[in-house]
Structure 1
Amino acid sequence: MKIRVVVADDFPLVREGVVRALKHDPALEVVGQACNGQEALELASSLKPDVMILDLRMPDLGGLAVLEKLRTEQAAVRVIVMTASEQAGTLLDAIAAGAAGYLSKRTTGEELRQAVITAHGGGSVITPSLASHLLKEFSSSARGEQSTVRPLLGQRELDVLRLVVQGKTDNEIGAELYISPRTVQNHLTRIREKTGLRRRAELTRWAVEHAIG
């Protein structure tokens, strides 16, 4: 069975190039193309693709917002972010929001095809030139701020936050910790109050930066 792919980018030439690259592998099938974030969500809902290749900067709804919605509404879709940005912060935000892969637009067609296959199989893919950013972030976090942050949160709050980092929903967190989804939400409310952060992606990034997870 072919791997079904949706390509989402607001530049037609970029979409066409990605589609053309994917067509070189008979195991991959492009089932839809989106020119903005809202259309990407609609195609994910109607077509149920296996993998989505997503640009972060799109009109109507940005890529990070699309990632967060897909994680809660279409969790089975594996998302590979493909962007011109090579900034560490953008990479961390995408991973925090649930991306299975992060590729630079310098990526070759062969690398893109392999990334789709890897993501579909449950793996993660990061362009090698960008992976060093992630390693540096983890390294500096582990050396520096871990001891000052943990006292801020209670043990159960830390448990909940670790599972948020893993991309789990409130129901999944509750099942793993043997607590109700409402109790999970109460813990998240207290975590948000203590950290001053509101969005789930912000909490995930904060946890990564402070070596929680």
Structure 2
Amino acid sequence: MTMRAEVRPRASMASVLVVDDHPLYSDALAGAISMVYPDAQVVQSGSLRDTLTRLDAGLVPGLVLFDLRLPDVAGISGFVSLRERLGGVPVLIISALASAELVRALMREGAAGYLPKEASAQELRRAIAQVGAGGRYVPPTLAEALEARHDENTEADRALANLTPQQQKIMRLICAGKANKQIAYELSLAEATVKAHITALLNRLGVKNRTQAAVMINNARAQGSGDPETRAYLNG
């Protein structure tokens, strides 16, 4: 599972979106982007809400740098919301939390790369070029940890892998305590369709009801990561 295969930077990049609520760090990211893509328009946003508003208004970035901890969201859920709006636009995650478990979850959810905030300016530029060119990037130390545990999926990973994408979405909402009617509303489905999906996923997981399913997944997640902050980000 190679994360740092060398890729030539794209010759040009029309626009890059930086999502970080700390002005000094956001400016530093913008500066690094300008060194890699001198002609790119760098758009800076300080919250998920503002970012989604800009996207709704027609902003189409070629690359996004996204901080996991924002004023209106903290954790993987913010990235998932953003990714669903972006389609195939690559997202490089920037975070102060360097956990192999978190990085694994982010890459599984579609992140193109991950970089801790303490990374050097040189590594930052390398990651921007790599991800902007369509590659993937994870720092060497984390890449080694991911490689070593690539085949050591948690019970939750294995259970979720047996579900269809729609069932996985429903399972995550069940774990968040959502009722069938709320799930139907959030996923734009008929409540009867949600019930049918739940019946199918319960059979696949080998449990009798949604409570047992939620306990099974949440317990496995908790055992899979002993770091409380990482668990908060995974469940956030």
TM-score range, shorter chain: 0.5 to 0.7
SS in 1 for 2:40: strand
For this pair of structures, how many residues does the alignment match?
179
Which residue, out of 157, 162, 178, partners 1:158?
162
Q: TM-score, normalised by structure 2?
A: 0.60
Once the two structures are superposed, what CA deviation does each residue of 1:11-45 show, in whole Å capped at 9, x if it has no partner?
11110111112212345624311111212222334
* Alpha carbons of structure 1 residues 71 and 24: separation in structure 2 relative to 1, 3 Å: closer
Unaligned runs of 5+ in 1: 165-180
The residue number in structure 2 matching 1:196 is 214
Which residue, out of 10, 18, 21, partners 1:10?
21
* Alpha carbons of structure 1 residues 21 and 139: separation in structure 2 relative to 1, 3 Å: same
Q: Which has the larger radius of gyration?
A: 2
The residue number in structure 2 matching 1:92 is 104
SS in 1 for 2:21: coil
SS in 1 for 2:164: helix
C-alpha contact 1:45 1:74 (8 A) present in aligned 2: no
C-alpha contact 1:8 1:36 (8 A) present in aligned 2: yes
Unaligned runs of 5+ in 2: 1-11, 169-188, 203-209, 225-236
AA aligned opposite 1:40: T
AA aligned opposite 2:116: S
SS in 2 for 1:85: coil
% same residue? 26
C-alpha contact 2:68 2:79 (8 A) present in aligned 1: no
* Alpha carbons of structure 1 residues 72 and 25: separation in structure 2 relative to 1, 3 Å: closer
The 2-side partners of 1:45 and 1:127 are apart by 33
C-alpha contact 1:53 1:79 (8 A) present in aligned 2: yes
The residue number in structure 1 matching 2:125 is 113
Alpha-carbon distance, 1:63 to partner: 5.1
The 1-side partners of 2:142 and 2:113 are apart by 11
AA aligned opposite 2:54: L
C-alpha contact 1:5 1:32 (8 A) present in aligned 2: yes
- Higher RCO by CA contacts (8 Å cutoff, separation 6 or greater): 2
Alpha-carbon distance, 1:50 to partner: 1.1
AA aligned opposite 2:121: G
SS in 2 for 1:6: strand
Alpha-carbon distance, 1:49 to partner: 0.4
C-alpha contact 1:22 1:28 (8 A) present in aligned 2: no
